Amino acid sequence: MLKGKRILLIVAGGIAAFKSLELIRRLRERGASVRCVLTEAGAKFVTPLSLQALSEDRVYSDMFSLTDESEMGHIQLSRDADLLVVAPATANILARMAGGLADDLAATVLLATDKPVLAAPAMNVRMWTHAATVANVETLKQRGIHFVGPNDGAMACNEFGPGRMSEPEEIADAIEELLAPAEQPLAGKRAVVTSGPTREAIDPVRYISNHSSGKQGHAIASALAALGADVALVSGPVSIADPPGLRTVHVDSADQMLAACLAAGRIDIAVCAAAVADWKATRPSGSKIKKKAGTAPPSLELTPNPDILATLSKPGPQRPALVVGFAAETENLVANAIDKRQRKGCDWIVANDVSPAVGTFGGERNTVHLISASGVEDWPTLAKGEVAMRLAGRIALHFSLPPKAEAAE
């Protein structure tokens, strides 16, 4: 039920806007109050009068209306709700959200809000699969925007495929799920997650690094935080955004990453998903190494980096109760990962294939094997966010079981 919940429904300009009328009914039946923002394009498909009659509230459209601003400014409008729902979320409004535009009331409210946002996309199949929309949706997901749908099916434009807006009941269910009091089985637990690559300086302009994007590690940090853990994310240099709702410490080198992990103090959970460079330059040059005509290329002497996972796994009073490592392998994946778990002394290791053909580095999906003292579990190929939620769920389960039940997990 949605008793007492306040929904701000943003209706953008798509043929699916007619379903938003039905959505208002469904939400009110479940006990929510609904206030509507209608875009100029949305008003070509549904009238303010229909939205007003069904929501029993006035409809907001004009950012520059003096009455709107004096009675209810756009900032207040964006804050006076428990959830913002964009339905239909057209390619245009998703692009404006991803670009941070504030060129009408709907976009401004979405930019100004501090509340969760759920988008129900609706558009032609080619618009939905266009690289620009795919990138915009990815950006929005990384910023924490929630999505429901779209569904597959026949469209008003006589094409078939993904792009139909979810049915009002499905959207109402998704809203209920989002607003349900979240279970926080990891409340009170402190976690450190490492993510991304490290950069080891050769000289002020060159470095040793790898292709890690941070997507897997960042998703794990978010998933642990969603289950109530107090998370510090220690991230190497990545181009994705810091996840909302947790602390991110930015580092470059393995030495800095280790120092940041140790500075977190006593923790219960460590997840080492970073791709730490195994070696660093023994003597990084303080100035740019010059190419000299007629001389042989310089040779690079390397020194091993500290092993962060092995350091955190060392037995002692400071050891986290659960240390999870990752194993990135290009051959003999599971056998090498089992060996790595033992060598590094961690409790669990998540093995993934990083051969270029698999596309794990930087990709959206991952196929992992969870290796613990009780054996090897093969997980199906999942989106990195789903791998993260599943891993966080397993971590929560671990802490809910008595110590000797580990073998049965």
Q: Distances from the Cα of 247 to the Cαs of 216, 221, 229, 331, 390, in angstroms?
A: 17, 10, 12, 35, 22
Helix intervals (H) in 149-266: 168-179, 215-226, 254-263
**Letter for the amino acid at 283?**
R
Nearer CB in complex with ligand PMT: 163/385: 385
Instruction: Point out which span in 23-31, 127-135, 325-333, 399-407 binds ligand PMT (CB under 6 A).
Output: 325-333
Instruction: Point out which span in 49-57, 72-80, 110-118, 268-276 binds ligand PMT (CB under 6 A).
Output: 268-276
Q: For the CB of residue 347, give the shortest distance to ligand PMT in the complex, in Å.
A: 12
Residue 103 exposed, middle or buried by CB count within 10 Å (0-12, 13-18, 19+): exposed
Does the annotation count 36 as an active-site position? no
Binding mask 175-214 for ligand PMT (x = CB under 6 A): -------------------x-x---------------xxx
**Is 328 near ligand PMT (CB under 6 A)?**
yes
Q: For the CB of residue 250, give the shortest distance to ligand PMT in the complex, in Å.
A: 15
Tokens 């590094």 locate to 344
Among residues 224, 272, 323, 338, which is the contact residue for ligand PMT, using CB under 6 A? Answer: 272
Question: Which residues in 139-167 are b (16+ Cβ under 10 Å) and which e?
Answer: bbbbbebbbbbbeeeebeeeeeeebbbbb
CA 17 vs. chain centroid, Å, equals 28
Omega before residue 150 within 30° of 0, cis: yes
Among residues 216, 235, 253, 372, which is the contact residue for ligand PMT, using CB under 6 A? Answer: 216
Q: State the Cα–Cα distance between residues 6 and 21, nearest whole angstrom.
A: 16
| DSSP tally for the chain: helices H, then strands E | 14, 22
Instruction: Point out which span in 54-62, 132-140, 229-237, 355-363 binds ligand PMT (CB under 6 A).
Output: 355-363
**Is 278 near ligand PMT (CB under 6 A)?**
yes
Binding mask 115-154 for ligand PMT (x = CB under 6 A): ----------------------------------------
Q: Yes or no: say if 270 and 322 are a contact pair by the CB < 8 Å rule.
A: yes
Nearer CB in complex with ligand PMT: 76/355: 355
Interface residues toward ligand PMT, by CB under 6 A: 194, 196, 212-217, 254, 272-276, 278, 305, 307-309, 325-328, 340, 352, 354, 360-362, 384
Return the active site residues: 157
